[in-house]
Amino acid sequence: MRGRLVHVVLLIWALLVTLPLLWAVVSSLKTDAEIFDSPWSLPATPRFDNWARAWDEASIGRYLLNTVVVVGGALFLTMLFGALVAYCLARYPFPGNGVIYYTLVAGMLFPVFLALVPLFFVVDQLGLLGTYHGLILVYAAYALPFTVFFLHAFFRTLPTAVAEAAFLDGCSHAGVFFRIMLPMARPGLVSVGIFNFLGLWNQYLLPLVLNPDPDRYVLAQGLAFLAVSQGYRSDWSGLFAGLVIAILPVLVAYILFQRQIRDGLTAGAVK
């Protein structure tokens, strides 16, 4: 009896999670009139032209492309820099090592809101406001503390014997890092990579302040912008379609890699 009650509760939450998403998908295939008529009705004929309209006219396609460029660049930079710094700090004792490590890790304690105003002026003065590379550099800088923190712990646990053997064979420091340590650290890199990817993909505050040019909007910005502008034009079906297009890549990635994604995200929290 109690087991059944628990199951009902579980089922209700499952419905709460899925219904809004399913509803968005169904609504994205309806006409505006059908949307206003009843939120629960099914479309008479599925309107895929809503999706096309969202992609072209509402620029979801462009926003998606902007996001891919910015997040891709930032992810690459974050992983390269994060791994390099974490490796050096974990494996090379030198004066100032501890100071650098704690300065980096302390970055996790500060809310981004605190930096927002000066950051805007720093980026502006460097002429990077509203540029891809400006956003990439800022994303990477703010993702660095956690990446270093996570990978530092990871590099410490790797055995030293392989690296030492490579040094004896005449391998350079950079060679040891790229050809030996980096491949050995692969599981850690995957975890923190997934964590960073989602964090960067979902950024809203930083692009809102640093990326004012509508042509360069990332997806999160674009959707928020559309919610206002399409609202005025009452193109609800187009907006629903945009929303669904924004959700789809995440859903596909989750279906393919759900185990790795959940492990990657929660590994960050347990540390």
Taking CA atoms, 212 is separated from 90, 144, 205, 217, 247, in Å, by: 39, 24, 12, 7, 23
Residues 181-210 interacting with other proteins (rule: CB under 8 A): 198, 201-202, 204-205, 208-209
Nearer to other proteins, 105 or 184 (CB): 105
Question: Counting contacts by CB under 8 A, is residue 261 touching other proteins?
Answer: yes
Of the residues 174, 183, 215, 232, which one makes contact with other proteins according to CB under 8 A:
174
Which range binds other proteins by CB under 8 A, 45-53, 76-84, 151-159, 180-188?
76-84
User: Does residue 142 bind other proteins (CB under 8 A)?
Assistant: yes
**Nearest distance in Å: CB 2, other proteins:** 7
Pairwise CA distance, residues 135 & 73, whole Å: 9
76 binds other proteins (CB under 8 A): no
If binding is defined by CB under 8 A, does position 158 make contact with other proteins? no
Per CB under 8 A, the segment of 45-53, 151-159, 183-191, 256-264 that binds other proteins is: 256-264
Q: How many C-beta atoms surround the C-beta of residue 218 within 10 A?
A: 26
Q: How far apart are CA 46 and CA 31, in angstroms?
A: 9
Select from 44, 99, 161, 269 the one that contacts other proteins (CB under 8 A).
269
Could you say which of 151, 240, 241, 264 contacts other proteins (CB under 8 A)?
A: 240
Compute CA 123 distance to the chain's CA centroid, rounded to the nearest angstrom: 21
Q: How far is the CB of 158 from other proteins (least distance, A)?
A: 17
36 binds other proteins (CB under 8 A): yes
**Close Cβ partners of 54 (under 8 Å, ≥ 6 residues apart):** 28, 60, 238, 239, 241, 242, 245
Q: Which of 148, 151, 257 is nearest to 198 (CA)?
A: 257
Give me the least distance between CB of 234 and other proteins, in Å please: 11
Residue at token pair 């304690």: 109
Q: Do residues 237 and 35 touch, judged by C-beta distance below 8 A?
A: yes
Residue 90-129 contact track with other proteins, rule CB under 8 A, x = bound: --x-x-----x--xx--x-xxx-xxxxxxxxxxx------
Tell me: does residue 60 bind other proteins (CB under 8 A).
no
Alpha carbons 211 and 216: distance in angstroms, whole number: 7
**Token pair belonging to 155:** 């590099």
